Amino acid sequence: MRHLLALFLVLGVSLCAGAADGLVNGNPPDIRALKIGDAAPEFDLPGIDGKNHKLADYTGGKVLVVLFTSNHCPTSHSIEKRLQRFWDEYQPKGVKLVAINPNHPDGLSKDELGYGEFGDSFEEMKPYAEKNKWTFDYLYDGDQQLIARAYGCLATPHVFIFDQELKLRYAGRFDDSRFYDDSTVKSKDAQNAVDAMLAGKPVPVELTKPHGCSTKWREKKVGHDAKHETWAATPVKIETIDAPGIIKLRANATNKYRLINVWATWCAPCVKEFPDLVGISRQFDMRDFELVTISLDAAEDLAKAEAFLFKQAAGMSKKVAGTIAKEGRTTNSYLFTGSTDDLAAALDKDMPGPIPHTILVAPGGEIVWRHNGVIERAETVNAILDRMNRFYSPAPAK
């Protein structure tokens, strides 16, 4: 009854979230739509170099490119290298470039962080840019998001290109591909616009539709909080499992990566790491991924283990519940009462014995990463990303 009551309360919040956040079709009502010929709006924003930068700092060139991008978005990730190559080629030709992160961390749901190790906070911008070896300015608008409103930033990435008089000549996508692979780019829209402007010709296509991740307005926190509360109110069901059942789990005849963790309520290191495991499961919830937990508690302590998992907000999301139902399963939480030798033989022959023990299993059953002892969250996230990648990939040809 306690679980049901909590769930009903959260659902009530969810229904009100759309009205409470004050957004209209996902954007603030005061967002501006720049038109071709409009002047570039002024800004004064902090950069990752520790200095504030104004629009006036980018005058004097033949062309100014203002690019809204972000740390977390897979579509932004897809142009990371293309953007630096663009800068290397066009800076000597008199082109100015400034990148701006429009997002506030509160505007992101936990499950929107599944394509990278970085969120959209100001503090995370510098390591993200350094990882990409960017040499252009990267500024932060997330605190007030006034510049994103002034330019009409609908998504990341979203490009605005201005002429020598700082009049808008192009707005829209950087190019026509959402993917990292350069071979998927068929139309270099921003580059085409710059080439035309440098040649003194009309821009061939002045407006395109930006594609990417919606701008993360801080007002979206209302809806995200409701979702997170729903997760926290989701009941947990533990089922007993035997060695053949574990062998089947490990075989992983799905398209998902499985992070399988062996734990127990009597294991202090297991208890310590569990918030990170739950956080990782939420982070990758929108991807082909699932967290499977195997408790080594005694059979009579099953209810105790369930209560612990509920307190940790480890209930399955609606998406995960749907995917496991297709496999004929009803839970991702199990209790194993066999011997350590039987467990190791069924799950991981290299398991040394102590718990916690965590493995990452690829589709088809190969263990691609393992860790014995308390996980380090960043290391685990990177291990997952290294296998699943940080970008959208084209669907395989049929």
Which CATH number goes with the domain that contains 321? 3.40.30.10
- Average pLDDT of the segment spanning 362-376: 98
Clarify whether residues 210 and 246 are in a common domain.
no
Clarify whether residues 200 and 252 are in a common domain.
no
What's the confidence (pLDDT) of residue 395?
Answer: 59
Clarify whether residues 246 and 204 are in a common domain.
no
Q: Beta-strand (E) ranges in 17-83? A: 44-46, 52-54, 63-68
Clarify whether residues 266 and 147 are in a common domain.
no
- Could you tell me if residue 226 is inside a domain? no
Clarify whether residues 210 and 252 are in a common domain.
no
Per residue in 55-82, pLDDT (tens digit) is 999 999 999 999 999 999 999 999 999 9
Lowest mean pLDDT among 157-161, 163-167, 226-230, 278-282: 226-230
Per residue in 267-291, pLDDT (tens digit) is 999 999 999 999 999 999 999 999 9
Clarify whether residues 187 and 274 are in a common domain.
no
Please identify, among 216, 245, 269, the residue that sits at the C-terminal boundary of a domain: 216
- Could you tell me if residue 396 is inside a domain? no
Written as one string, the DSSP assignment of 117-159 is S--SSHHHHHHHHHHHT--SEEEE-TTT-HHHHHHT--EESEE
- Could you tell me if residue 8 is inside a domain? no
- The CB density around residue 113, as the number of other CB atoms within 10 Å, is 22
SS3 80: helix
Clarify whether residues 73 and 147 are in a common domain.
yes
Please give the residue range of the domain that contains residue 201: 24-216
- Could you tell me if residue 393 is inside a domain? no
What's the confidence (pLDDT) of residue 7?
Answer: 38
What's the confidence (pLDDT) of residue 213?
Answer: 97
- How many domains does one find in the chain? 2
Q: Is the pLDDT of residue 342 over 80?
A: yes
Clarify whether residues 375 and 330 are in a common domain.
yes
- Average pLDDT of the segment spanning 24-40: 94
Please identify, among 216, 248, 275, the residue that sits at the C-terminal boundary of a domain: 216
**Phi/psi of residue 307, nearest 5 degrees:** -60, -40
- Could you tell me if residue 5 is inside a domain? no
Q: Is the pLDDT of residue 312 over 50?
A: yes
